[in-house]
Structure 1
Amino acid sequence: MTIPSLADRYSLLVCFAHSRREEALTSSQIADRTGLPCALFDDVAAGRRHFTAGQAAVTAAALGLQDAAYLAAHPGDDVAVIAMYERLQLLVEARDLGVQHIAARDTAGSGLAKTVKSRLALLGRG
């Protein structure tokens, strides 16, 4: 897998940053949380702009992500960024479908549902 574009990574993070019972955050709401201009988030989502290191750090923190390198224009560790992207996809899917759905599909007994449920609980996203 190639590294997803910054626009795709940012959009997935925005999708991750709300609970199951809430709507996704708007650019305006993210701007309020970060103190950065709303147009920046619209431009990043559209692929017209990149975050500076400082903007990436503030945005990542506001959206519940500890590793701001995920939002870097040219992250140094592609494998780590791809892994984070896939992890966020899994967490978003688990949140949206519900842990019971994941548990029903965990027929091999790998404990996936338990892992997902514990991570969502830690993040307050259950």
Structure 2
Amino acid sequence: MNKAFRALTTGGVAAVSMGAILLGAAGPAAAMGKDGNLEVHEFGLFYYQNQSGCVFDLYGEDLNFNDNYFKSGCTGAGALVNDNTESYKNRDVYAWKVATDANIDGNVGEIPSNYSGNASTTFKNKISSATYTLHP
């Protein structure tokens, strides 16, 4: 077996192994978010002020809330998330950006890590998208 082929096959096995590890690690992470329970490492938008009512919890970005609904078992259940949130809580290590239009457009605000509050008049019942930032 020549050196180039060996390096290629060894690298291929390592890549497959790393892929399996990453897929295995993504399992629990993929299950987080959008389940109606605000957990550590998630960002939540609440139906009412003071972090009450249903929560729309995000683990990863969502650039358009127009196809998201609040889960059952709370005040606001079944309501469209888009333009329908009054407060927030960031339980993530990263800051989150929210915007009044899809694709982080329109008015954009940033919510620091481990911060909660009520949306300002600019954002109250107007948030349509969110993404996390890459700086903690």
Q: Sort the TM-score into its range (normalised by shorter chain).
A: under 0.3
More helix by share: 1
Question: Which protein has greater RCO, CA pairs closer than 8 Å, 6+ apart?
Answer: 1
TM-score by length of 1: 0.25
State the structure with more CA Rg: 2
